[in-house]
Amino acid sequence: MQFMQRLQFILDSEKIKYENQVLAELIMKYIPDWRRIINECQRYGMSGTIDTGILVTLSESSIKALMKDLKSKNFKSMRKWVTDNIDVESSKLFRIIYDNMVEYVSPTSVPQLVLILADYSYKDSFVADHELNVVACMTEIMSQIKFK
């Protein structure tokens, strides 16, 4: 409750519009990572409004776009995709790739993909720059995995 009030005070001071229900859901989503909550509000609030868009998860079409970039080894486009979707937690992204790998990856590459995802998922707990870690993971997938 105190954190919610403090967050509302900060947003009011910065003249950023928000919905109380969205703030409550955001807090519940990332509790107890207070810095993450503030960072999400800061990043998303640059538009002047915090709404339900801050809670959006990856869509199926977005994952298809990433997989297309990985298959075609388009580093520039993959890196842009990662930057555009940096609000998605790395662990969730890795899990989505894992859950959908049979659709996109050659059966002989599945074990290697599992090892890559597990390795970068582990590293994600220790890295200073999560974006760099995700880009490194995607780059390794590009170079070592055969796609359908």
pLDDT digits (tens, 9 = 90+) for 102-134: 999 999 999 999 999 999 999 998 999 999 999
Contacts of residues 106-114 at CB distance under 8 Å and 24 or more positions apart, as own/partner, are 106/145, 106/146, 106/147, 106/148, 108/146, 109/144, 109/145, 109/146, 109/147, 112/144, 112/145, 113/141, 113/145
Q: Tokens standing for 87?
A: 């609000």
Residue 60 pLDDT > 80, yes or no?
no
Answer whether 82's CB lies under 8 Å from 135's CB: yes
13-17, 87-91, 135-139, range with greatest mean pLDDT = 135-139
Helices 110-123 & 130-144 angle (0-180, nearest 10) = 170
pLDDT digits (tens, 9 = 90+) for 14-30: 999 988 998 898 888 88
Answer whether 112's CB lies under 8 Å from 145's CB: yes
pTM exceeds 0.85, yes or no: no
**How far is C-alpha 95 from the geometric centre of its chain's CA atoms?**
11
Give residue 130's identity as a one-letter amino acid code.
H
Task: Name every residue whose Cβ is closer than 8 Å to that of residue 130 and which is 6 or more positions away in sequence.
Answer: 86, 90, 124
Domains of the chain (ranges; CATH) run 2-55 (1.10.8), 60-144 (1.20.272)
Residue 49, H or E segment: strand 49-50
